[in-house]
Amino acid sequence: MARNTMNWMKLWGIVAIFLTGIALAEPSISPSYVTGKAKKLYSVIFGIVVEANGSVRSVRVARVTDPISGGVAPVDASVPPVYVDAAKKYILDKGYSPKLDNGKPVEFYTYFFYDPANPQVLITEIK
């Protein structure tokens, strides 16, 4: 009887470790992403302001679009915080150059792709 109890405890310990690993998983960056017909991708456009000294002042979601439509009209798609956080980290790590107008930093834009089925993955390129 004690041996059976120990086996159950080991099993639950393994399950707990697995679930903790899933819960603590870091967002990831996918430099290239192979799409399939079943996938729905969005383009998330970020507005960025970089100070003259190179520090990032602000990063915001400016618009979400459907790249398949061929237009830039916004669509009604929410982007989860885990995705926005991954994009901010990528932007900070990339080290964008400031865009200045009369010596003052101005907002410029970049975009990444978003797959609602994998919200923790920042997609920088699709194939």
Q: Report the alpha-carbon distance of residue 56 to residue 70 in Å, rounded.
A: 30
Tokens, residue 63: 């618009």
Does this model's pTM top 0.75?
A: no
Q: What is the pLDDT of residues 43-98, one digit of tens each?
A: 999 999 999 999 999 999 999 999 888 888 899 999 999 999 999 999 999 989 99
Q: For residue range 1-28, list pLDDT tens digits in order.
A: 455 555 545 545 454 444 344 334 455 5
Helix (H) or strand (E) holding 81: helix 81-94
**Length reported for the chain:** 127
DSSP type of residue 67: G
